[in-house]
Structure 1
Amino acid sequence: MTGWWVVVPVKDARRGKTRLAGVLDDAARTALVRSMALDTLAAVLAAPSVAGAVLVTADRDLAAAAPGLGVVPLDEPAAAAATHAGEAGLDAAVLAGAAHARGLAPHAPVAVVLGDLPRLDPTDLDAAPASAAGHARAHVPDAAGTGTTLLTASTGRTLRPRFGAGSSHRHAAAGHVRLDVPRSSSLRHDVDHPADLVLLAGQDAWPSALPEK
């Protein structure tokens, strides 16, 4: 099977993870968003099933770092406006990234991995697309079971992103089958809330994801 192309959407770091504003100052929060994105991208590229990756972002620092990592950068506002003007926010960025990936590899299956998985293990990432290969569309929920960390579409299929609060239910309703991925999988552990940050701080394997204050 053709290797997966992965779309990683990341907000401008200065506007990302606002729910952490109560525990991190602006500089620390910005550094965290960028660090998590870089850790996520490194894990994505280390997965043998991944053929390539597209970073969709308005963050200039991340976009500048992408080519050196072997990632294709795509400017979020311009791409979303030109490709999917009827969509909004993250969904528009996802669709623009997927369209760009398909332009580079027309026959590749595509996946979306959110850029806030700093503990992502490439082995865990490989396991999910292998399970998704039997479905036209699939998704992996976050550890809480309500959000979404991975969205997939097989060759010839288009993504139907429904990101936001309660996205797992909406993705299932849109035809993205929920994959049976263990809750312990690193693929399900994103960083959204202060409690997630506490867990991240206890992971000695990922010190780079914690900004200095």
Structure 2
Amino acid sequence: MTTGAGWVVVVPIKLLAAAKSRLAHPDRTALALAMAQDTVAAASGIDRDVVAAVIVVTNDDEARTRMVHLRGVDQSTEGTCGDRDTHPHVIVVPDVPDAGLNAALAHGAAVAVHRWPGTGVAALSADLAALRPSELQAALLAAPSRGRALVSDATGTGTVLLAAAPGTPLRPQFGPASRAAHVGSGARDLTAQLGESVRGLRRDVDTLDDLREAVSLGVGPRTRQVLAAGPSAAGPSAAG
């Protein structure tokens, strides 16, 4: 068990076969995995005094295997992790509840609190193909020292980041109109404060239009590789 300040970021990855059902692209599954890898890589690229660790919560075998290729990944077979002298920057844990996104996030938060007491916990969407480490760092540094805070998606209705200060329950309510749900439960909305500086953080990818915008912002290397290898989602030919 380790202690210290900063944040633990929790990234849930659903079974890839069911991921991104609204993304009408022939490489939908590969894109879902690539975007998750780029998201986790961006989160793990932040200095450890800000982000102590990244927890990936998934029951997908392919996602688990691919995450091993990211630097410093540890695969845990238990719902909580045992004591260690040092911690990896990224760990992968199974989705023990297996009861949807919010249950997976609550489970990841419990792992974080057990292993890194004294840190805040932040839930991060897994489909942020254009995320930059500096954007996530800016959002976490803007979060208040007490309570919860959020950053909304590009449409202003969803949530891409929900941060709970040390000692504050995460209480995730992701899903339709999650921004309103989180604000209604007391979370502070940081979106306007951060403004244009976090466009990549706010650009989650559910549709081809979302993907085109993410490409225009500059996607991560794994997403870029999938797009280069198959039919382009950024061009007119992908519209169908």
Scaled by the length of structure 2, what TM-score is found? 0.78
Gaps of 5+ in 1: 82-87
Is 1:189 the counterpart of 2:203 in the alignment?
yes
**Does the Cα contact within 8 Å between 2:122 and 2:163 map onto a contact in 1?**
yes
Match of 2:103 in 1: 92
Residues 1:97 and 1:192: Cα distance change in structure 2 (over 3 Å): same
Q: 2:129 aligns with which of 118, 131, 143?
A: 118
Match of 1:72 in 2: 91
Is 1:199 the counterpart of 2:202 in the alignment?
no
**Does the Cα contact within 8 Å between 1:36 and 1:117 map onto a contact in 2?**
yes
Residues 1:13 and 1:142: Cα distance change in structure 2 (over 3 Å): same
Residues 1:24 and 1:184: Cα distance change in structure 2 (over 3 Å): same
Q: How does 1:1-213 map to 2 (within 5 A)?
A: 2-20=5-23, 23-25=24-26, 28-48=27-47, 49-69=50-70, 70=72, 71-76=90-95, 79-80=96-97, 88-179=99-190, 180-183=193-196, 185=198, 186-203=200-217, 206=220, 208-210=222-224, 211=226, 212-213=229-230
Scaled by the length of structure 1, what TM-score is found? 0.88
Task: Say what the alpha-carbon RMSD is for the aligned residues.
Answer: 1.7
Query: What is the rounded CA distance, in whole Å, between the counterparts of 1:152 and 1:202 in structure 2?
Result: 27
Gaps of 5+ in 2: 73-89, 231-240
**Does the Cα contact within 8 Å between 1:200 and 1:206 map onto a contact in 2?**
no
> Which residue identity does 1:7 align to in structure 2?
V
Cα drift, residue 68 of structure 1: 4.3
Larger gyration radius, structure 1 or structure 2: 2
> Which residue identity does 1:37 align to in structure 2?
A
Cα drift, residue 187 of structure 1: 1.1
Identity across matched positions, percent: 39
Residues 1:137 and 1:127: Cα distance change in structure 2 (over 3 Å): same
Cα drift, residue 67 of structure 1: 4.1
